[in-house]
Amino acid sequence: MTMETHEIKHSTQSVCEQPSTYTLGPLQAGPYCCIPHPVIQVKALSLFYGGKCALDTVTLDIYRGCITVLIGPSGCGKTSFLSALNRLTDLVPSCRVDGTVHVEGENIFGAHCNLQQLRKRIGMVFQKPTPFPLSIQRNIALPLREHGVTRQADIQAITEQVLRDVGLWDEVCDRLDAPALSLSGGQQQRLCIARALALNPQILLMDEPCSALDPIASGVVEELINRLSGRYTIVIVTHNLAQARRIANYAAFFWVKERERIGHLVEFGRCQHIFETPSDPLTAAYVSGATG
């Protein structure tokens, strides 16, 4: 198990003051990503729903500390691809997965993979904010307890820290016992990000985290994602091309074949390359807004 050898240090102070072991740059400095070290290696990944192919042989690497955006039209398998990375596909009974996904060298579809550990290492944020119908405090405390953090003082410290990280602390510090559902949509989404951060993951998967929010809340979340890059490896699905261009280091363009409805990866590369000098005409047409 990589987890045991890979001792993660977590400080109770603000993240920016004392970066963790593999943080590559200060959070405020914006994206800093130049060491292409693959943390997730996807090889020939195919997804089938009830025998029908939904995503065809995808191979790509996700680099540590970088933001990778997945773009493409609806139904091209971006979200399926994302949920295969932390094996949420297990929840769909009819879903079958071919190929391998290595996280830090370990095949997550292998027989000995500890799912709960895996999902602790790979946090996920959904399209619609999904806080539990509990208090704000308890939303963060619950998964922590589940992963063995039981001291009240520790929980409080971590809660405060992650809420500060997502910029929510000042807004809610006086009403931590209020129901999480009483927050606004943007606040709820940031709470969900904080909840994922509380487990100190290496990787964050985000499935259109801004699309259910109004433009202002969306902007706040986007800025937050920007700040988190470097410290975390982020994979994000978005339909907002402008946003993708603003935040991404790497971009993967998915497309769906008209007739068979099978999604596949068209092009993967540095953000600039995909958006400015795409090598595939499909990509060029999509990012210029001509199709999709």
Partner 1 sequence: MIWWKHSISFLSASIDRWFSAALRIGALLAALIMLFILLFLLLESWPVLRHIALMRFFTDEAWHPLEDQYNLLPMVTGTLYASSGALLLAIPLGIASALFMIFYATPRTAVLYRRLIELLAGIPSVVFGFWGLTTLVPLINQWHPPGASLLASILILTLMILPTLALTSYAALVAVPKDYLQAAVALGLSRWGMIYGVALPAARKGIVAGILLAAGRAIGETMAVLMVAGNVVQHADSLFAPIRTLTANIALEMAYAMGDHRAVLFVSGLLLLLLVIALTIIAAWFGKTHHV
Partner 2 sequence: MSKLFVNKDKMSYLLRDLTIQVLIYSAIVCVSGVFLWILFDLIRGGSALLSWQFLTDVPRDAGRAGGISSILASTLLVLLIALLAALPISWATAILLTEFISAESPFGRWVRYSLQVLACVPSIIFGLFGYAFFSLYLGLGFSILSGGLTLACMLLPILVSTAEAGLRAVPESYRLSAVALGMSRAATLFHVLLPVAAPAWAAGLLLGIGRAAAETAALMFTSGYVDRMPESLLDSGRVLALHIFDLSMNVPGGDAPAFASALVLILLLLVINLVAMRFTYLWQRKKLNAE
Q: Please tell me whether residue 86 binds partner 2 under the rule CB under 8 A.
A: yes
φ, ψ at 273 (rounded to 5°) = -60, -50
Of the candidate spans 34-42, 52-60, 147-155, 278-286, the one that interacts with partner 1 by CB under 8 A turns out to be 147-155
Q: How far is the CB of 121 from partner 1 (least distance, A)?
A: 11
The strands making up 203-207's β-sheet, listed across from edge to edge, are 106-107, 95-103, 38-49, 52-63, 263-270, 250-256, 67-71, 233-237, 203-207, 122-125
Q: Residue 12 binds which entry of partner 1, partner 2, none, with Cβ cut-offs from 5 to 8 Å by kind?
A: partner 1
Q: Please tell me whether residue 202 binds partner 2 under the rule CB under 8 A.
A: no
Q: How far is the CB of 241 from partner 2 (least distance, A)?
A: 26
Q: Residue 7 binds which entry of partner 2, partner 1, none, with Cβ cut-offs from 5 to 8 Å by kind?
A: partner 1
Distance of CA 76 to the CA centre of its chain: 18
Q: Please tell me whether residue 113 binds partner 1 under the rule CB under 8 A.
A: no
Q: Quick one: tokens of 164?
A: 């500060």
Closer by beta carbon to partner 2, 190 or else 195: 195
Q: Residue 138 binds which entry of partner 2, partner 1, none, with Cβ cut-offs from 5 to 8 Å by kind?
A: partner 2
Q: Quick one: tokens of 260?
A: 């068979």
Per CB under 8 A, which of residues 46..85 are in contact with partner 2?
Answer: none
Strands (E) across the chain are located at 38-49, 52-63, 67-71, 95-103, 106-107, 122-125, 203-207, 233-237, 250-256, 263-270
Near partner 1 by CB under 8 A: residue from 116, 174, 215, 242: 116
Q: Quick one: tokens of 126?
A: 């959904």
Near partner 2 by CB under 8 A: residue from 51, 93, 105, 289: 93
Could you tell me the end-to-end alpha-carbon distance of the chain, in angstroms, rounded to an integer?
A: 42
Q: Quick one: tokens of 285?
A: 């047409």
Between CA 50 and CA 95 the distance in angstroms is 6
Q: Quick one: tokens of 225?
A: 């994602």
Per CB under 8 A, which of residues 110..139 are in contact with partner 2?
Answer: 115-120, 123-124, 126, 128, 130, 132-135, 137-138
Per CB under 8 A, residues contacting partner 2 are 86, 88, 91, 93, 115-120, 123-124, 126, 128, 130, 132-135, 137-138, 141-143, 146-147, 177, 179, 192, 195-196, 199
Per CB under 8 A, residues contacting partner 1 are 3, 7-10, 12, 114-117, 120, 146-149, 151, 154, 157-158, 200
